[in-house]
Structure 1
Amino acid sequence: MPSPNAFRRLILPIVIAIPVLFAMLSYGLFSNNIASGLWVLMSLAFLLGVPFVMGALTIYFSPLKWVKSLGYQILMPWVPIGIFFVVTLLVGWEGWACWLMALPLAMVASTIGGLAAARYKEREGNKNERVYLSLIVLLPLIISPIEQLIGKIPGQYKAYTYIDIHAGKEAIWKNVTRVGEIAAAQDKGWFTRMLGFPRPVKAELNYEGVGAYRKAIFDKGLVFDEKVTAYNHQRSMSFTIHADPYNIPSTTMDEHIVIGGEYFDVLNGAYELEPLSNGTYRLHLYSHFKLNTTFNFYASWWASWIMKDIQNNILQVIRQRAESGLPEDRI
Structure 2
Amino acid sequence: MKSLFAIVLAAVYGLIIRLLFGFANGLMEIMSVTFIFLVPVGVGYLTVGLLAPGRASTRTAAFFLPWLTSLFLLVVTVLLNVEGAACWLMVFPIFAVFAGFGGLLAFAHRTRKNRKAADSQQPTRLNLSLLVAGPLLLGFVEGEKALVPKQLTISREVVVGAPPAAVWQQLTRRRTVARPAGGRSLAGLFGFPRHLTTTLDSCRVGGKRVAYYEKGLYFEETVASYWPARRLVLRVNANPSAVPAAVMDEHIVIGGKHLNILQDAYQLTPLAGGRTRLRLASRFYINTPFNWYAEIWAHYLMADILDGELAGLQARTAAS
Both proteins in one fold, TM over 0.5? yes
Instruction: Kindly indicate whether the alpha-carbon contact (under 8 Å) linking 2:3 and 2:55 is maintained by their aligned counterparts in 1.
Output: no
Percent identity over the alignment is 33
Structure 1 residue 151: deviation in Å?
A: 4.3
| Structural RMSD (CA) | 2.2
Matching residue within 301, 312, 316 for 2:311: 316
The letter for the 2-side match of 1:19 is: A
Map of 1:190-209 to 2, 5 A cutoff?
190-209=185-204
Aligned to 2:11: 20
Q: Is the 8 A contact 2:28 2:142 kept in 1?
A: no
**1:101-123 Cα shifts (integer Å, max 9, x gaps):** 11111111111111122112111
For structure 2, which runs of at least 5 residues remain unmatched after alignment? none
User: CA separation in 2, counterparts of 1:103 and 1:203?
Assistant: 35
Alignment equivalent of 2:94, drawn from 97, 102, 105: 105
The match for 1:122 is: 111
Give 1:124 deviation, angstroms. 1.9
Q: How does 1:182-221 map to 2 (within 5 A)?
A: 182-183=178-179, 185-186=180-181, 188=183, 190-221=185-216
Matched, 1:180 2:176: yes
Q: Which of 60, 75, 100 matches 1:71? A: 60
Structure 1 runs not aligned, ≥5 long: 1-8, 327-331
Distance in 2 (CA, whole Å) between partners of 1:175 and 1:113 is 55
Trace 1:20-169 onto structure 2 (pairs within 5 A).
20-32=11-23, 35-125=24-114, 130=124, 131-132=126-127, 134-148=129-143, 150-169=145-164
In structure 1, the residue matched to 2:270 is: 275
Q: Which amino acid in the other structure matches residue 218 of structure 2?
A: V
**TM-score (normalizing by structure 2):** 0.90
Q: Give, in whole Å, the separation in 2 of the partners of 1:37 and 1:206.
A: 39
Instruction: Give the conservation status (yes or no) of the 8 Å contact 2:164–2:269.
Output: no
Question: How far apart, in 2, do the equivalents of 1:36 and 1:212 lie?
Answer: 38
From the superposition, tell whether residues 214 and 277 of structure 1 become closer, same or farther in structure 2 (CA, over 3 Å): same
Q: What are the superposed Cα offsets for residues 234-288 of structure 1, whole Å, 9 maximum, x if unpaired?
A: 1111110012122222222122211112221111110001223333321110111
> Are 1:269 and 1:288, in contact at CA under 8 Å, matched by a contact in 2?
yes
Going from structure 1 to structure 2, the CA distance change for 1:237 and 1:95 (only over 3 Å counts) comes to: same
- When structure 1 is superposed on structure 2, of 115-124 and 292-301 the one drifting more is 292-301
2:282 corresponding residue in structure 1: 287
Higher mean C-alpha displacement, 106-115 vs 174-183: 174-183
Choose from 244, 252, 255 the match for 2:247: 252
Measure, in 1, the Cα distance between the counterparts of 2:98 and 2:6.
18
Q: May I ask how many residue pairs the two structures share in their alignment?
A: 313
